[in-house]
Amino acid sequence: MKKILVTGGCGYIGSHTIADLTENGFDVISVDNNSRSTTHLLEGIEKITGKKVKNYKVDLCDFDDTNAVFEENPDIVGVIHFAAYKAVGESVEKPLLYFENNLVSLINLLKCVASFKVPYFVFSSSCTVYGNPDSIPVTEETPTKQAESPYGYTKQMGEQIITEFAKASGVRSVLLRYFNPAGAHPSALMGEMPLDKPQNLVPVITQSAIGKLPGITVFGDRYPTRDGSCVRDFIHVCDLAHAHTLALQYMIDGKLSGITDIFNLGTGSGITVLEAIRTFEAATGIPANYKIGSNRPGDVIAIYANNDKARRELGWEPKFTLEEIMKTAWAWEQKLQNDEKLFTGKNIRLN
């Protein structure tokens, strides 16, 4: 079996991707320093796939520790890099934390990829690289604009670093631009696990519904959109995970034209924040408690994907609806609460 290293494997998208890779015949190891995750999701992977996943608790900002993982696993054929901080609002408040963590970790990883001659690299990028696009939906050819947040800058710089690295090293690389990942594994054995107050809309909705949060603040409803709230493209985490497996296989099968390529991973439909809240209510029957607040610095007004290229080149087909995103997210939130009770109140979200 081909061995794949997944960084951030204990995180939300990383864990779902490990499950998908494993179910598609890959042998996967994880590198995750658990600064913003626990190993709880690896237990979920084991229950789903029957396979135990080894996690190296390593900070990628430490080159020697990162290099040691590759020395112990010289048979790695591909790396999928998720490990990064990703909260738009937090990055505006703490820019140096984001530049240091997200860029130093990437550069250390690429040094190891080159020295251990790993042939394939997949990068977790983001639609934030488009900034506030002039026209939507965005294609991969839509020019990237000034990012709206330091988080967005780290993704733009990450793409540039990898593109130049790939040209110089010959390491084939794919940049996957996610839109808004949301939802949870249908088994309710994995899902989004923010360790402290969630930043993203869907976990805020589910934590408000279960009573962990007092309610939802909608960050602005006077934007130039159909109902005044921001527009996003919510993509189910399982659809997103499967795209990584397809992208890796695409490179292994020698289908990558050139040395790097870019793919948008979104559903292709734009949903407003208020529509997302209403979809949660309709999908679960639970009324959402929300109020309108001020705009959040760093927010893009409206963005959603043209995903034709991923459909055509990767054979990728997003399957989950927004209703299923909300239903699976809610089932996971309820499971988490039960697990926390089972652990006699121990908060499983802490290390």
* Contact footprint for ligand WQD (CB under 6 A): 86-88, 126-128, 178, 180-181, 199-201, 204, 216-219, 230, 232, 273, 296, 299
Q: Which CB atom, from 105 or from 128, has the smaller least distance to ligand WQD?
A: 128
How far is Cα 166 from Cα 173, in angstroms, rounded to an integer?
A: 7
Q: Which CB atom, from 68 or from 92, has the smaller least distance to ligand WQD?
A: 92
Tokens of 285: 């029957």
Q: Which CB atom, from 70 or from 85, has the smaller least distance to ligand WQD?
A: 85
Kindly list the catalytic residues.
151
Report in angstroms how near the CB of residue 333 gets to ligand WQD at its nearest: 15
Report in angstroms how near the CB of residue 180 gets to ligand WQD at its nearest: 4
Q: Helix, strand or coil for residue 291?
A: strand
**Closest to 73 (Cα-Cα) out of 1, 166, 4, 162:** 4
Q: Which CB atom, from 77 or from 137, has the smaller least distance to ligand WQD?
A: 137
Region at 269 (left for phi over 0; alpha for psi -120 to 50; beta for the rest): beta
Q: Helix, strand or coil for residue 324?
A: helix
Report in angstroms how near the CB of residue 5 gets to ligand WQD at its nearest: 20
Q: 94, exposed or middle or buried, with CB in 10 Å at 0-12, 13-18, 19+?
A: middle
> In three state form, how does the secondary structure of 144-210 look?
CCCCCCHHHHHHHHHHHHHHHHHHHHCCEEEEEEECEEECCCCCCCCCCCCCCCCCCHHHHHHHHHH
How far is Cα 116 from Cα 258, in angstroms, rounded to an integer?
A: 21
How far is Cα 229 from Cα 219, in angstroms, rounded to an integer?
A: 8
Q: Which CB atom, from 296 or from 309, has the smaller least distance to ligand WQD?
A: 296
Report in angstroms how near the CB of residue 134 gets to ligand WQD at its nearest: 18
Tell me which residue has its CB nearest to ligand WQD.
230
Report in angstroms how near the CB of residue 127 gets to ligand WQD at its nearest: 6
